Homo-oligomer: A and B are copies of this chain.
């Protein structure tokens, strides 16, 4: 059963092309941590800017470099059911263990519970690896309700959900109504501790790219029932997480990686990289959290 902390790893670019050597270096560092595995082609992986060919090469490279004990989750969803099935099965063939599949979202007003049930059932029926639902209202503009998740949790190939909103009430409701073996992962470090309190099994955290040990430590402290210590450490994570998700986004996360000994590099266009003022602000935030 899936649990623990996963970073949605960034995709390094040099001259606008994926830098596989830099990727390998990053992974070799993460391999030495207690991270449970990697999410490749999550939102922070700039999946939206990659061609199909690039996506498959990326998965292949991550698989090759990941430690044997690390689980590999690939973000392979898009609005097209056909393409989602096709890409997921190609990803599975080259080593993806799980598929993280975005809620369909283009026709926002029309994506009701029935649409989500239809979409995820059709996909889950035809893919050869287990499906994790990916709910991220900030980017998709849609939110999957607890009721359809309850139904979908009964499908034998739909094993969990990553919830990337900060709405812990929604997370609690999903946990309450889904089957016992359904796994819920928080999708942002700001609610790691409270999400675990609510019953989440772990998290897919952008922050885990730059602070894997601190994220794992919150998780471990919680599981050792050291709640005060867990909450105290969580408090440190919040301002950094706010900077590398809300405020500066992927560009901020990559800049922080560069500052902290990983390879970050520039995000791909049309994302902007940080300017100097933003970079200085980011460094201050990292210092205050004792990461720098």
Contacts and interface: CB of A to CB of B under 8 A. Distances in A.
A141 B107 CA distance: 11
Contact of A83 (B51, B111, B272): B51
A169 B188 contact: yes
Copies of this chain, whole number: 4
A219 to B, nearest CB: 15
A54 B141 CA distance: 26
B269 A50 contact: no
**A111, A199, A235 pick with most chain B CB within 10 angstroms:** A235
A151 to B, nearest CB: 14
B176 A235 contact: yes
Contacts of A246: 109
B238 A118 contact: no
Interface centre among A50, A106, A188 (most CB of B within 10 A): A106
Interface string A184-203: 00001011011001110000
A29 interface: no
Interface of A: 43, 48-52, 54, 78-83, 86, 104, 106-112, 114-116, 118-119, 122, 138-139, 141, 166-170, 172-173, 176, 188, 190-191, 193-194, 197-199, 227, 231, 234-235, 238-239, 242, 246, 249-251, 268-272
